[in-house]
């Protein structure tokens, strides 16, 4: 898999940092982050990352609504939902919104690598 660019969307600076370190350790580039869905939509437009990781629960606009907006404008953009355990119904909603895959917290390098291999299988 070639190096990919990522936008990380999460209102927790600790999650953004952890995910950034994991993605970079796997040879990818983090081109930006957003703390809510409104920011995510703007940054997805301007940065045009190869993929987006999206938290579900955030202030101002949640991840499901932001995913729908982003995929309406950029239907080929993979969105990977980051979710806490026990939110299975939310994951179903995320897939319905167009997300490709999801990663359950706690975020571990092996899980991220496995999901990226699935998302970019043909690359």
Q: What is the pLDDT of residues 35-62, one digit of tens each?
A: 999 999 999 999 999 999 999 888 899 9
Q: Which of 44, 88, 81, 86 is nearest to 62 (CA)?
A: 81
- What does pTM read for this prediction? 0.92
Question: Across residues 98-122, what is the average pLDDT?
Answer: 89
Q: Report pLDDT digits (tens) over 62-84.
A: 999 999 999 999 999 999 998 87
User: In terms of DSSP bridges, do strands 51-55 and 79-83 run parallel, antiparallel, or are they unpaired?
Assistant: parallel
Distance of CA 81 to the CA centre of its chain: 5
Q: Which residues, 6 or more positions from 113, have their beta carbon under 8 angstroms from its beta carbon?
A: 26
- Per-residue tokens: 66: 């932001």
């Amino acid at each position: 898999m070639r190096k990919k660019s990522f936008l990380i969307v999460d209102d927790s600076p600790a999650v953004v940092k952890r995910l950034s370190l994991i993605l970079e350790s796997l040879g990818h580039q983090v081109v930006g982050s957003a703390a809510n869905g409104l920011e995510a939509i703007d940054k997805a437009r301007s940065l045009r990352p190869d993929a987006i990781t999206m938290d579900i629960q955030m202030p101002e606009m949640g991840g499901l609504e932001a995913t729908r907006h982003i995929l309406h404008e950029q239907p080929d953009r993979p969105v990977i939902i980051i979710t806490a355990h026990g939110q299975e119904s939310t994951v179903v909603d995320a897939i319905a919104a167009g997300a490709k895959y999801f990663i359950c917290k706690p975020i571990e390098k092996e899980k991220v690598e496995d999901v990226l291999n699935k998302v970019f299988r043909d690359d």
